[in-house]
Structure 1
Amino acid sequence: MGTFKIEGGHQLKGDITPQGAKNEALQILCAVLLTPETVKIDNIPDIVDVNKLIKLLGNLGVEVKKLGPNSYSFKAENVNLEYLESEAFKIEGRGLRGSIMIVGPLLARFGKGYIPKPGGDKIGRRRLDTHFEGFIKLGATFRYNREDYFYGVEADELHGTYMLLDEASVTGTANIVMAAVLAKGTTTIYNAACEPYLQQLCKMLNRMGAKISGVGSNLLTIEGVESLGGTDHRMLPDMIEIGSWIGLAAMTKSELTIKNVSWDDLGVIPSVFRKIGITVERQGDDIHIPAHTDGYEIQSYIDGSILTIADAPWPGFTPDLLSIVLTVLIQARGSAVVHQKMFESRLFFVDKLIDMGAKIILCDPHRATIIGHDFKSQLKATTMTSPDIRAGVSLLIAALSAKGTSIIHNIEQIDRGYENIDTRLRAIGAKIERLEGN
């Protein structure tokens, strides 16, 4: 188990470039299964979860070529469907949440798709009902083996239909869209997710020959086609990493420039950080965060009531950044409530922040009240363990702002979502060392 050793309390300075978007990569990589032709993808983040999926595609028989740093080509001409029922697949698929999105493309192109119950973050339940209910409405037969938690869908032919999703699930929408593009007739998906990464998937599929309209809205119309061809695609920068660097700059009173952020795809992220008093300046397509030497003050609502920051489906605030915002609020001037609606275990990492001296009241599994220090007292270093990707980075930000030397164990969780994070942080002045464990 790997470990980070962090000497906190240092100001950072310089430029940092966000990696390609993890959540987009998991969708886009699964889409290569829809065509026997070559798909070239650039700006793929070199992170554990994405590399696991690339390996899984290779084991499925996809021809994978690394063209350069963060650049690959994929050719799914000879897919080995027998691998889907192997013990090796059951083990590999179980270790990656994003593996669920291979089911839609396989069902569309080959008439069957299987997946073991996926793993991933320990942040609470993530239902798969939306995915499989969509496949069933398209005409697939569903089966589930309770003994080894193995899901399967099969269909001789998929047929377009109208469906109203029970939740605006991003991965669920992506999976259903990838199944519907090769179905007979027209599929209409209402209450579809519409975040930028889903838009990227739809635009890529359209370049491959799909006929998807309504991209960017919650009402998608998909006219099925006979087949799809190859294409080139470039990932957007990762908005979660961008938000992480904004929070890092504020907590450490550092001046940072975040390069090439694709401003138009950030939605409400800049405005949410501004609500907690952080200066977020637009410089072309970069974000500049000045050193907050006088701290930052939380805004109140017009009627004077306490600010509440809550997650919501896009274009609302992404749940993946709530852990970061909660941590940044520790040193703000004022108080705020963080309301995590979507996952019931995601706020349990706050006990580690409380150990460091944070003033946080965990009201219930979904809500926490944070009373800001206004930098009048510094967090103190401690030893902790990362429970999931976003909590791990939040703890890392807290450690970089704290007095003394902190230890973070189980950094494999952080590596799942952040590319070479220690190397990139050292480049802007962070005192962080990676210790390899047993």
Structure 2
Amino acid sequence: MNSFEVQGGQPLKGEITPQGAKNEALQVICATLLSKDEITIDNLPDILDVNNLIDLLKDLGVQINRQSSQTCSFKAEIIKPDYLKTKEFRTRASSLRGSIMIMGPLLARFGKAFFPKPGGDKIGRRRMDTHFFGFEKLGATFDFDSEEIFYTVHAGHLKGANMLLDEASVTGTANIIMAAVLAPGTTTIYNAACEPYIQQLCRMLVSMGAKIIGIGSNLLTIEGVKDLNGCTHRILPDMIEIGSFIGLAAMTGSEITIKDAATDHLGIIPLAFRRMGINMHISKDEIYIPPKQKYAIETFIDGSIMTIADAPWPGLTPDLLSVFLVVATQANGSVLIHQKMFESRLFFVDKLIDMGARIILCDPHRATVIGLNQETPLRGSVMTSPDIRAGVALLIAALSAKGKSIIHNIEQIDRGYEKIDERLSRLGARIKRI
């Protein structure tokens, strides 16, 4: 198990470019299974989750041409469905949650798909009902082996259908879209997730020959086509990483310019940071965060405490709440962080409390943070990363803290952040992998 050794209290300075979006990459890689033709994807993040998914598709029979760490071509002309029944597949797929999205493409092309219970971050219950509800609406039959914890979906033929999703699940919406694009007839998906990454998936499918109307809204209309062609697709910058860099700059009093940030696709993220009192200058696709700023959390108009809560797009992504919570520890004022979607994502706050943060964990979903107003720095500590987003939040805390910190289980951070230690070191961070 690798660890980070961090010497905190060092202001950073310079330019940094965000990696390609992890969540989009997992979707569009799975979408390559829909066509027999070659598909090239650019701006892939060189991270564990993405590389593991590419390896999984290779074992499934997809021809992989890795042109560079950021560019890869896929040709799913020959697929080995029997691989899905092997113990090796169960082990590998169950450790990578994003691989659940191979089910929609395989169901569309071959009429069947098998999948173990997906893994990923340990952030609480993440149900799969929306995926299977959509498949069943399209005409598939769903079976669940409770002893083996194994899902089976099969269909003699799919057919377009109208559906109202019970929740705007991002991976569920992606899976249903990919199953529907090859299903004869018209499919309408209401309450569809409409995150930029879903929009990107739809645009890629359209460039392959799919017929999708309503991209960017929560009502999608899909006319099934017989087959799809190849294409070239470029992944957006990762808005979670961009938000992490904004929080890092504020927390450490650093002067950072985020390049190639695709600011038109950030939604409410800049506004949420401004509500925390953080100043930034956005011009074209760059974000500049000035150094050594004190930031005061706003209150609501009636004077009540500010609440930062996650919500489906265009609301605030839940993946950034851990960063907002850490940033609040050095703010002037108080804030209630409300994590609505996952019940275990705030349990890392005990590590911040050990570092001197003033946090009240109200329940599994809510934490109140009383900011220290940069009068008392956090102190270095030894901690363990529980998941990707909490891991980078703890790294931000360590970089701002007085003294040395050790962060264990950094493989969790590596799953979502590309060479983060090397990139931050170039900004002046004192961090090394041990």
Partner of 2:34: 34
Deviation track 1:99-131 (CA, whole Å, cap 9, x = no partner) reads 100000000001111111010001000010000
- Structure 1 distance, partners of 2:283, 2:140, is 49
Partner of 2:390: 391
- Secondary structure (helix, strand or coil) at the match of 1:187 reads strand
Partner of 1:245: 245
User: Do structure 1's residue 332 and structure 2's residue 331 form an aligned pair?
Assistant: yes
User: Do structure 1's residue 257 and structure 2's residue 265 form an aligned pair?
Assistant: no
Partner of 2:401: 402
- Superposition CA RMSD, Å: 0.5
Deviation track 1:270-291 (CA, whole Å, cap 9, x = no partner) reads 0000000001211221000001
Partner of 1:186: 186
- Structure 2 distance, partners of 1:427, 1:417, is 19
- Structure 1 distance, partners of 2:189, 2:306, is 34
- Structure 2 distance, partners of 1:130, 1:423, is 39
Partner of 2:91: 91
Partner of 2:271: 271
- Structure 1 distance, partners of 2:367, 2:280, is 25
Partner of 1:16: 16
Letter in structure 1 aligned against 2:64: V
Partner of 2:124: 124
Aligned-pair distance for 1:240? 0.2
Partner of 1:379: 378
In the alignment, structure 1 segments of 5+ residues that lack a partner are none
Matches within 5 A, 1:292-311: 292-293=292-293, 295-311=294-310
- Structure 1 distance, partners of 2:47, 2:221, is 33
Partner of 1:163: 163
- Structure 1 distance, partners of 2:235, 2:292, is 32
- Write out the 4+ residue segments of structure 1 that deviate beyond 4 Å after TM superposition: none
Letter in structure 1 aligned against 2:272: V
- Secondary structure (helix, strand or coil) at the match of 1:244 reads helix
Aligned-pair distance for 1:137? 0.7
- Structure 2 distance, partners of 1:147, 1:69, is 39
Partner of 2:416: 417
Partner of 1:209: 209
- Structure 2 distance, partners of 1:321, 1:395, is 13
- Structure 2 distance, partners of 1:28, 1:249, is 31
Letter in structure 1 aligned against 2:102: I
- Structure 2 distance, partners of 1:12, 1:148, is 49
- Structure 2 distance, partners of 1:245, 1:395, is 13
TM-score normalised to structure 2 length = 1.00
Matches within 5 A, 1:217-228: 217-228=217-228
Aligned-pair distance for 1:292? 2.9
Partner of 2:71: 71
| Equivalent pairs, count | 434
Aligned-pair distance for 1:68? 1.8
- Structure 2 distance, partners of 1:2, 1:184, is 50
User: Do structure 1's residue 114 and structure 2's residue 114 form an aligned pair?
Assistant: yes
Aligned-pair distance for 1:67? 1.0
- Structure 1 distance, partners of 2:167, 2:373, is 39
- Structure 2 distance, partners of 1:384, 1:35, is 45
- Structure 1 distance, partners of 2:335, 2:44, is 36
- Structure 1 distance, partners of 2:187, 2:377, is 55
User: Do structure 1's residue 320 and structure 2's residue 319 form an aligned pair?
Assistant: yes
Partner of 1:431: 430
Partner of 2:290: 290
- Structure 1 distance, partners of 2:65, 2:113, is 24
Aligned-pair distance for 1:148? 1.3
- Structure 2 distance, partners of 1:152, 1:44, is 30
- Structure 2 distance, partners of 1:318, 1:144, is 30
Aligned-pair distance for 1:298? 0.5
- Secondary structure (helix, strand or coil) at the match of 1:68 reads coil
Aligned-pair distance for 1:69? 2.9
